[in-house]
Structure 1
Amino acid sequence: MVVEQEVTPPPVMWAQRSQIVFLTICLEDCKNPEIKIEPDKIYFHGIGGTEKKEHEVTMNLYKDVDPEKSLKFVRDRNIELVLKKKDDGPYWPQLMKDKKKYHWLKVDFNKWKDEDDSEDDMGQSEDLEEMMRQMGGLGGAGDSKPSFDDVEPESDSDDEDIPDLE
């Protein structure tokens, strides 16, 4: 008797703006994943994670996206997709066409912005690559590391020696 191992979906986080949807596939060390961005769905297949397991998922999207203007970035720790919505406008009530809850799909609160929030800090730029640079996703502005060379240590009252135990 052959037991087929069921392929599990990877953990996915999502957020949106009026023009784009952010998808983060949280699968580390995934080399050469298969990612298909179609107008109404996203397909992902890859092997990765700490256990090097096979992961696969097809996400039927709530509304259409523009595959030509969408971007994907395969990184060591995750895979990021920036999907350009076909129609600007109201936020989607959910990512998927059906209203089911999926254990592997979560909201990315680090990137989430409510529809009525001001768009000032992100600039809501048409240039998705520039927006990713601003978020530290493509290098550039987010690559500088802080230096502590110029900081002088301050004396502190709790820097005194601790008395010996008796």
Structure 2
Amino acid sequence: MSQVTPEVLWAQRSSNAEPEKNFIYLTISVPDVPKENLKLDLQPTGLTFTGHSETLKRTYHLELTFYAEIDPAESKVHHTDRNVELKLRKKELNDEYWPRLLKDSKKVQFLKTDFDKWVDEDEQNEAPEDDFSQFGGMGGMPGMGGAGGDFGGIDFSKLGAAGGMPGGDEEDDESDDDMPALEGEEETKEEAKEGAKEEKDATKAAA
């Protein structure tokens, strides 16, 4: 029986201070592979996965070599009837994202970005953590309250900046409003002249 390479979706987060927010999120799409039929070997430098589906008569096999090292002891695996989800703790704390998942820069067809989980590097502090609730024991969860306070600060500063805007807008609006009003008046006068002319013509015609 031939082996099939499963589709893999990935996303990531990074932090140079909080290990639990410095991870790779990996989803291996292997429908109908029961837990007893899969073998996952997770190493610091990569992983090897083999899974067999009786219903689909298919054997999945995957070997990945990561761009940088992970910490298998701090990584988590969650199995569902549709896929195997992994939350791989990056070994090195770093604010910067990995430029790619794999060591080899060559593009592979089976690997895709998980857009449901992906956030841009500079927006990740605002990303919800509940995407990863199925892993349990999320160290980052209780701290979200503090982060929420920070967001409030950001919002207030935006509001503060926006607060200065209406004054400028009002001045612009006044100057803008004057112009269309003048144009409008001219048009109105022209239309009035045209209307009077048409009325005269109509009166003459009726006479």
- Output the TM-score relative to the length of structure 2: 0.56
The aligned residue for residue 162 of structure 1 is none
Structure 1: how far apart are the matches of 2:41 and 2:102? Answer: 16
2:32 counterpart SS class: coil
The aligned residue for residue 9 of structure 1 is 5
After superposition, residues 11-160 of structure 1 pair within 5 angstroms as 11-18=7-14, 19-31=22-34, 32=36, 33-48=38-53, 51-89=56-94, 90-122=96-128, 132-133=132-133, 137-138=134-135
2:132 counterpart SS class: helix
Structure 2: how far apart are the matches of 1:17 and 1:61? Answer: 15
Matched residue type, 2:117: K
Structure 2: how far apart are the matches of 1:55 and 1:121? Answer: 32
1:119 counterpart SS class: helix
1:58-81 Cα distance to aligned partner (Å, 9 max, x none): 100000000000000111111100
1:58 counterpart SS class: strand
C-alpha change, 1:138 and 1:83, in structure 2 (3 Å) is closer
Instruction: Name the Cα RMSD after superposition.
Output: 2.0
State, as a whole percentage, how many aligned pairs show the same letter. Answer: 37
Question: Are 1:28 and 1:50, in contact at CA under 8 Å, matched by a contact in 2?
Answer: no
Larger deviation, residues 40-49 vs 79-88: 40-49
**Runs of 4+ residues over 6 Å off in structure 1:** none
Gaps of 5+ in 2: 15-21, 137-207
Matched residue type, 2:123: D
Question: Are 2:32 and 2:56, in contact at CA under 8 Å, matched by a contact in 1?
Answer: no
Question: Are 1:28 and 1:49, in contact at CA under 8 Å, matched by a contact in 2?
Answer: no
Matched residue type, 1:111: K
Looking at secondary structure, tell me which structure has more helix per residue: 2
Structure 1: how far apart are the matches of 2:98 and 2:42? Answer: 18
C-alpha change, 1:118 and 1:68, in structure 2 (3 Å) is closer
- Output the TM-score relative to the length of structure 1: 0.70
Matched residue type, 1:104: F
Question: Are 2:119 and 2:127, in contact at CA under 8 Å, matched by a contact in 1?
Answer: no
Name which one, 1 or 2, has greater alpha-carbon Rg: 2
Paired residues in the alignment total 126
Matched residue type, 1:26: S
The Cα of 1:118 is off from its aligned counterpart by 4.1
